[in-house]
Amino acid sequence: MPSSLKKQRGLTFLSIAFILALIGFFTLLILKIAPIYINHSRVVNALKAVENTTDIVTKNKYEIKSSLDKRFDMNYVEHVTNDNIKIVAQPGYVRVDIDYERVEPIMGNLSVLVEFHEGFEAGNR
């Protein structure tokens, strides 16, 4: 009898099914969450491009907002609305803040919430 126990090695069907279910779940998470972070990197790139504009402190709110909108359109940025963008533009000082969140349904009543807070200041108050 002891010799037959040594020959029985490997995973059972249930353990293989459990491992495949875990791999499937984490693959689903990656496929749902990765586009959120890709979109966020586009927002960050557009914000940095506006920040690196040479005459940013001389622009008014409308010009800064227009520049951001153009960059968002070029980069196909989604899920950032006008309500999420706060711009303070005074002579010699600019502050831009973008705060938004995404709720992505995973399956059933399971969802993931991701919050983003980005911004910059330029000039002297």
- Higher local confidence (pLDDT), 61 or 2: 61
Instruction: Find all residues with CB under 8 Å of 94, minimum gap 6, and list them.
Output: 56, 57, 59, 64, 87, 88, 121, 122, 123
For 106: left if phi > 0, alpha if psi spans -120 to 50, otherwise beta; the answer is alpha
Domain spans in the chain, listed from the N-terminal domain onward: 13-123
**Tokens for 7?**
């020959």
**Tokens for 47?**
């914000």
State pLDDT tens for residues 19-46.
999 999 999 999 999 999 999 999 999 9
Separation CA 6–CA 57 (nearest Å): 76
State pLDDT tens for residues 44-83.
999 999 999 888 888 999 999 999 999 999 999 999 999 9
Question: Parallel, antiparallel, or unpaired for β 93-107 and 85-90?
Answer: antiparallel
pLDDT at position 72 is: 95
